[in-house]
Structure 1
């Protein structure tokens, strides 16, 4: 893998024009907003929860518009395994639906590639293969048109959890909100996101805590409360379990 990163576009037109493409594979993952892609002389608006795939030496032309706040990830990579994985991909634009697991994998990929700690190349390769596998799975699920109504409900639940991650979380409340039993809600949630509801909200809290540790001077106890964990000791233990660093150690890394 040669390069990967996250892009937050707001207030500026940007994009790429590569008439001869690149020598490697190129994936764009639109998480929020939209990207305008030119394929065979026609412009398409690619909206959030979609993947744009370019094969080596394929014409590339895409634009992010300043009036649309957009968040996307990109990755450039090579490898013979890619040929077999992408051999049946006729489309260059694929809607894969809401999938928090995929976004978390991209986040981990970018973090590993930027920190470049010991063994990062092997970890990046593993994460990339997992990402491609998830994209393939979600593409197949969408193409089979699996229970669109239930998928939409779980997507709404994910958005609701992201808005209210700092509040007390009870699966029963969300199951009731979407007229499902707890077991049905939990099953569909894990099928769509790749994780349980409790793990999902916990991982959001950890990500929000990371942002606060890097961008604020809040004491650890306050960050714990702000992300919905009332006990500082539980927060610290939980944070280290997920990141391998204590909150203090993580903050020090970015000073």
Structure 2
């Protein structure tokens, strides 16, 4: 089945990393998804009934009922429904806030794909309820739905962490220090060698550790921090696009606009128009 997914499936369209999207599927044998280059966001699934099969291009693992799976950014992934079952699952694509990253330190089943099992029925019921709320809020379009969806996602990650994480999965203090630094001083022109030197690591060791712990490269995370801050400024200020670009650490407004459009699916000027329209 894993080879069938890897070599027979058509390439699926990649997701827009800044958009929080979720849903529920019920798929029989023959369902398969192929993303040979991975995505720029995290992909979370919660198996309600049956089981799913995941493959990273080299290894395969199953996600049966009462388990969640988490595919990290950039991980090639192929998944689908094995024979003799129907796979019913909740799913969500998201980019985590920096303070959520310790909640994502789950056991790695195969390279790039993490997993956790719920043996407590009550905890599983609570997780399902939070996922239902996330899906519901994502279908709504009022001013509060986006924030409510984000809160529901945070509840999901907290419940998974509460159920799963042990001390040996805690985040490395050097990675935590770096995340705190770039979150507070995102305007500064950081680079990998400079950040590595601050925590007394070589650039290559630091880059590997950061990627392993967080699921993404440090400069990718810095870019996402800047883009999230720019979104807040577009929503709450009258600063020009050029001023916002400079405020969050981008040297060129055109480059900022391209990055914003790739992350949120729309240019910053259009995004601001949508916000103003929604308020009127």
Q: Give the TM-score normalised by the residue count of structure 2.
A: 0.45
Q: Give the TM-score normalised by the residue count of structure 1.
A: 0.49
